[in-house]
């Protein structure tokens, strides 16, 4: 990546959070090591601990060494990175800390006016976002401040609210202090190479795009499976559930990438316009039809987990059969399944094509055995496989399924960026294409709220640990 970035100051709220320690500080270090950051940059950590600049640099050094092992052999680069770190102690709910932050920013800007551009990152619990944004405005640090001498951007972590009402409230708060073009709602899935490649795979290859429609595709399957339970996240999961935790963001973003129309260009708004059209085209799931298209489950033993109610009806599995009611996809099912404690860890998209009108090489039902498929695996592997039928060796004309596979790890020599490294660079450069726009947040919550309202006080179906969830015919 060779784009020229503006010099800037990175303000990290929640500087001692797990996200900062495991992802953000190591990612910033790696970008510095690869010389992807501008010539002059500053990182100001903001948290409650009673430490100073030196203490924060020691903390950051430990985080980087733990999660970026190559740093152990690059001590000079790590030293230079840590020299650019500063710290402000603040209670994020009180205005006083933001005044101190403003003074620290002014000190840095006075010593180097090229760092007057500010990128705020909210690595904090969602409940703190309104407090942070409100206090940024009070400290005259907001994106609409007339005192701004450079650009202002803010990165907000998911979840963006817990339903449509709270999402709208958060969007209103954010919109009062920042313009939409300054807001970067992050979903790390959109930084994964295989997800970013969907756009290229679809629209740069003439052999696929003509077939990418209801005439040739039988169904699309999206699976987001984890082979572990909620671990220590019981308190969070009791308020969230699988629909809010996975389907509303990761799941629907993958669906939009597969189903969207070609954008008029590769500008951020053109791409996001087409994704928003997909959300608006989703067939409504109402109380009359939702039970035919949605199944919720809960793994055995969930109610014994820490911080989980003994009579909890929170879902840890969801299967949703979506329909995109537009010209391209009318009546093609998009079957989405996601869950905890399933048989294995895998995230993949499978596009299954319709069978030929006649099957000369076996009984009619054998077509499902050799049906053409495109299998996009996002994790743990990063691959694209094409399944097709081939003649089995021997005298008989019998077909077997075979695969052609592309693998990111073996096909490219250069070191891959992690999702957070990708998205941090995009935010620094002002590229919003892989971030979620306000209207998409609200559209996705609208469909999830419809499902949740229809399943209020309904017991989810139990399923055994390390199975594929409750049985469903589709």
Which residues are part of the catalytic machinery? Answer: 250
**Strand partners of residue 221:** 335, 350
| Residue 188 annotated in ligand binding | yes
Angle, in degrees to the nearest 10, between helices 53-67 and 25-33: 80
| Residue 28 annotated in ligand binding | no
| Residue 35 annotated in ligand binding | no
For residues 398 and 363, give the distance between their C-alpha atoms in angstroms, rounded to a whole number: 10
| Residue 192 annotated in ligand binding | yes
For residues 48 and 28, give the distance between their C-alpha atoms in angstroms, rounded to a whole number: 21
Angle, in degrees to the nearest 10, between helices 252-259 and 438-454: 120
Q: What is the helix (H) or strand (E) element at residue 152, kind and residue range? A: strand 152-157
CB-side exposure of 86: number of CA atoms within 13 Å? 19
| Residue 226 annotated in ligand binding | yes
Contacts 24+ apart (CB under 8 A), 270-274: 271/199, 271/433, 272/432, 272/433, 272/436, 272/437, 272/440
For residues 396 and 394, give the distance between their C-alpha atoms in angstroms, rounded to a whole number: 6
| Residue 48 annotated in ligand binding | yes
Which backbone phi and psi does 317 adopt, to 5 degrees?
A: -145, 145
Q: Apex CA 316: angle with CA 311 and CA 319, to 5°?
A: 125
424 Cβ contact partners less than 8 Å away, ≥ 6 residues apart: 24, 27, 28, 31
* Angstrom distances, CA of residue 294 to CA of 257, 279, 302, 434, 445: 21, 17, 20, 28, 16
CB 306, CB 264: distance < 8 Å: no
Q: Apex CA 121: angle with CA 272 and CA 267, to 5°?
A: 20
End-to-end CA, the chain: 43
| Residue 287 annotated in ligand binding | no
Binding residues for substrate: 188, 192, 226, 245, 340
Binding residues: 48, 91-92, 158, 188, 192, 226, 245, 340
Binding residues for NADP(+): 48, 91-92, 158
């Amino acid at each position: 990546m060779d784009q020229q970035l503006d010099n800037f100051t990175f303000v990290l709220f929640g500087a001692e959070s797990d996200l900062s320690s495991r992802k953000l500080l190591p990612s910033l270090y790696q970008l510095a090591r690869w010389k992807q950051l501008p010539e002059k940059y500053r990182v100001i950590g903001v948290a409650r601990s009673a430490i100073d600049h030196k203490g924060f640099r020691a903390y950051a050094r430990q985080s980087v060494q733990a999660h970026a092992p190559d740093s152990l052999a690059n001590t000079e680069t790590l030293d230079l990175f840590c020299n650019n770190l500063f710290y402000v102690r603040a209670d994020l709910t009180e205005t006083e800390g933001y005044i101190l932050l403003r003074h620290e920013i002014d000190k840095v800007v006075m010593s180097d006016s090229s760092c007057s551009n500010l990128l705020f990152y909210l690595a904090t619990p969602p409940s703190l976002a309104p407090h942070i944004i409100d206090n940024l405005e009070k400290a005259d640090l907001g994106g609409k401040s007339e005192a701004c001498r450079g650009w202002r951007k803010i990165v907000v972590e998911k979840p963006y609210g817990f339903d449509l009402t709270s999402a709208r409230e958060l969007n209103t708060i954010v919109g009062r202090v920042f313009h939409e073009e300054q807001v970067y709602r992050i979903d790390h899935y959109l930084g994964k190479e295989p997800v970013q490649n969907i756009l290229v795979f679809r629209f740069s290859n003439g052999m696929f795009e003509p077939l990418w429609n209801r005439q040739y595709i039988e169904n699309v399957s999206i699976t987001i499976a984890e082979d572990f339970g909620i671990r220590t996240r019981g308190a969070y999961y009791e308020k969230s559930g699988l629909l809010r935790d996975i389907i509303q963001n990761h799941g629907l973003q993958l669906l939009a990438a597969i189903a969207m129309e070609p954008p008029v260009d590769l500008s951020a708004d053109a791409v996001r316009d087409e994704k928003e059209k997909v959300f608006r085209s989703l067939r409504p799931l109402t109380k009359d039809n939702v039970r035919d298209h949605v199944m919720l489950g809960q793994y055995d033993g969930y109610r014994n987990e820490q911080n989980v109610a003994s009579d909890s009806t929170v879902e840890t599995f969801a299967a949703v059969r979506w329909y995109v009611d537009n010209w391209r996809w009318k009546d093609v099912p998009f079957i989405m399944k996601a869950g905890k404690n399933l048989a294995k860890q895998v995230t993949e998209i499978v596009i299954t094509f319709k069978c030929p009108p006649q099957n000369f090489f076996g009984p009619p039902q054998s077509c499902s055995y050799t049906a053409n498929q495109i299998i996009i695996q996002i994790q743990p592997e990063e691959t694209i496989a094409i399944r097709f039928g081939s003649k089995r060796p021997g005298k008989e004309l019998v077909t077997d399924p075979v695969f052609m596979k592309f693998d990111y790890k073996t096909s490219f020599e250069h070191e891959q960026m992690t999702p957070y490294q990708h998205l941090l660079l995009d935010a620094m450069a002002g590229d919003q294409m892989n971030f979620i726009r306000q209207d998409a947040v609200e559209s996705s919550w609208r469909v999830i709220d419809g499902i949740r309202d229809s399943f209020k006080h309904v017991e989810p179906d139990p399923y055994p640990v390390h199975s594929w969830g409750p049985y469903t015919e589709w």
